[in-house]
Amino acid sequence: MADVLTGATNQFEFRELPSSKIVLSPECYTRLSADINLCAFSGNDELEYGTFLYGKEVKPNVIYFHTPSKHDDYEPKFREFEVNVDKNGNELKMHKEFINNIENSIYDCIAHIHTHPYIGGTCRFFSNQDLRTIQTLQKDFQPSNGRKKYFFGGLLTVGPENTHESDEISFVFYDEHNGWYKITNIYVLLDDKEIPFTEVNGRPKMKI
Ligand SMILES: [Zn+2]
């Protein structure tokens, strides 16, 4: 609901993060494909799905996301992806894992990913509330040992035709000094080869 009330920002107009690349493991790619398919075919086109991806910066601005959330015990909600607590107010396993992984030195990059169904208007852009969430993660969800984590926002959107070909994927990054960036250079690592996502007019599709 907040999405509709607070507007949206076209992430494709952000500057490209210099020399940036995102590489997804097969596990991460499978999870994102499942999330966008749930969003497209759940039979309720108002619900949002998502996950976290955990990874490492392998070279400056080159991020390898190797592990998706082990849990997905959230309830898909009306135009909102919220993973903190269940309907009785108990913390979800998915959220516990996320908080633990902020302290885990195996990972230095975390992506918060969610889907948008096709509802017209600005549904293929990040809502301003989505962007505020990523900013809050970057500023306030840092480990106690002071070794900075980098948070990325990921959005998967269903197209008007509701076909696999029109599903889009986009990543954004909030730099506390320089503001917002996009990363459109996205790959999947399959059999040790980096396979690029198809890009149409600067907008990566979920298709490889
Ligand atoms: Zn959203």
Distance 119 CA to ligand 1 centre (A): 12
Q: Rounded to two decimals, what is the model's pTM? A: 0.94
For 3, the token pair is: 């999405």
Ranges 3-12, 32-41, 106-115: which has the least confidence: 3-12
For 172, the token pair is: 């954004």
The string of pLDDT tens digits covering residues 127-144 is 999 999 999 999 999 999
Distance 92 CA to ligand 1 centre (A): 20
Distance 208 CA to ligand 1 centre (A): 24
| Gyration radius from the chain CA atoms | 16
User: How far apart, in whole angstroms, are the C-alpha atoms of residue 32 and residue 68?
Assistant: 9
Secondary structure (3-state) at 205: strand
Distance 3 CA to ligand 1 centre (A): 6
Q: Which tops the pLDDT comparison, 118 or 162? A: 118
Fold of 2-204: Cytidine Deaminase; domain 2 (3.40.140)
Distance 33 CA to ligand 1 centre (A): 17
Distance 191 CA to ligand 1 centre (A): 32
Give me the residue spans of the domains in the chain.
2-204
